[in-house]
Chains A and B, each alone.
Chain A
């Protein structure tokens, strides 16, 4: 079980990314040692998996391609979807993989340099897998918001400098 303070720390990290432990300690009203202890525990428990920057590649015209592929598969007796999922997520171009409810089973997100690369991935790597029954590929056209962050220009502070 995690304390409400530990959960609050996770919420801050999820929203803000990496912050100095001293600042985190002050924000939570605890000492630095406590925060360090919490961070160690999160890492050991596999709860805190890492820190990444959120990059808007659209801004610098890098023409990479993101595809969302709906995949129907046959689950394996005793292992469910885990085996085929593992076969798929090991490909480095797969940036995300989710087991879904509804019309298909797995959603594969891949990032590649070109449409051609996506096509090759689907025809050469994904579709030939024994368990894969069908695939439907969608290409992302534009990112408006990702993980809570807006990709369109941020709205600036509209408040006056001084108000009562």
Chain B
């Protein structure tokens, strides 16, 4: 048989995969390895999707999505994030934020174009950019700066081939957030070097200390930014696969072609659920945010007390503790924690080289499960006490 695509064959499977296989075979696992909310989608949203099915909405929608939903997304962006998009020409409803990223990169990149990517980062960014012909240039966010992106680091990564910057704040996996002022420094670079910005704002609603600032609201950024957002995290709808892009017409027009040929449209029933979710967001989102904040407060404190230095994440639902002082690599740490204490976390290097020395632990699970996880981690960490100087790490 003839060989398969060299590019795809040479692509590494996600580093999470191995842990997934290992953890799935074990019982009595407390999982902190899950990148999704522990809430089930609110009932009224599920019910709205049922109703659409009952009424027979089983056909394609417009390629860009139901126009009612695009209007609602446009309202949402205006009310929640103070940025205006024309629902008829600047919004595309996608099958999850992942597909939104895919159509963004395919529309932006020519072979060899470079994308400066914030790191540690969501596992899909690199492969999606490469499949679109681009080259990934990672820029590390360091623990010392609270995993915030530094202007000088970004600037050092920019070359004449740089086409775009990819940002994700609040961050998966670090939970870091950036203020408007800090983001403005990145925005200045985008203007100076004439770059596109892809801003993955999927965790926008999950900010606990400071209000979220959408990159598109910064000076002159609306017209060079593709905002990626979706329903998975804020509305607890991961399995529905529903996301959207908001971007100027000049690029939305091109992304729509990729979307139209590759996907046709997001599933219609799912879009009806999304419509209901946006309309009733005030009933659900603040409650979930409050609950995540409580769990974050508890969990970060408890990890630090257990001897795992952890910065306070301003958003998302991840803790990203340092495990360097144990002398283990993040994979060794995660594997031993799983085998010895049956707590699943994700090794930091799954999110890029700069994630080495850390693990990602999601606190999107019940407070009782978190307490159990901490009891087990406490026990696990005992063996390192001799070799570590706990106080100097904190």
Q: Within the complex, which residue of A26, A157, A158, A161 is in contact with B24, where a contact is CB–CB below 8 Å?
A: A161
A65 at the interface (CB under 8 A from B): no
Which residues from B are CB-within-8-Å of A157? 38, 365
Task: Establish whether residues A26 and B33, one from each chain, have CB atoms under 8 Å apart when the complex forms.
Answer: no
Does A28 belong to the interface (CB within 8 Å)? Answer: yes
A28-B297 contact in complex given A8-B290, A161-B23, A162-B16, C-beta closer than 8 Å: yes
Q: Per-residue CB proximity of A118-131 to B under 8 Å, as 1/0?
A: 00000000000000
B33: chain A residues at CB < 8 Å are: 161-163
Closest CB in chain A relative to B42 CB, distance in Å: 14
B20 and A161 contacting across the interface, CB-CB below 8 Å: yes
Q: Does B246 contact A (CB under 8 A)?
A: no
Residue tally, chain A, CB below 8 Å to B:
19
In the complex, the number of residue pairs spanning A and B with C-beta atoms less than 8 Å apart equals: 65
Cross-chain contact B298 with A26 (CB below 8 angstroms): yes
Q: A9: nearest residue on chain B (CB-CB)?
A: B294
Within 8 A of A (CB), among B3-44: 14, 16, 19-20, 23-24, 29, 31, 33-36, 38, 40
Interface residues of A in 83-101 (CB under 8 A from B): none
Q: How far is the CA of A54 from the CA of B292 in the complex (A)?
A: 25
Interchain CA distance A163-B318 in the complex, whole Å = 13
| A27 CB–B CB distance under 8 Å | yes
Considering the complex, give the chain B residue whose CB is closest to the CB of A27.
B294
Which residue of chain B has the shortest Cβ distance to A16 in the bound complex?
A: B367
User: Which one, B24, B298, B365, contacts A23 given CB within 8 A?
Assistant: B298
**A positions within 8 Å CB-CB of B:** 8, 11-12, 16, 19, 23, 26-29, 155, 157-164
User: What is B's interface to A at a CB cutoff of 8 Å?
Assistant: 14, 16, 19-20, 23-24, 29, 31, 33-36, 38, 40, 122-124, 172, 238, 290, 294-295, 297-298, 301-302, 344, 346, 350, 365, 367, 371
6 A-B contact pairs sorted by A residue (CB < 8 Å): A29-B297, A160-B34, A161-B31, A162-B34, A163-B35, A164-B172
Which 3 A-B pairs rank lowest in CB-CB distance, beginning with the nearest? Answer: A162-B33, A27-B294, A161-B23
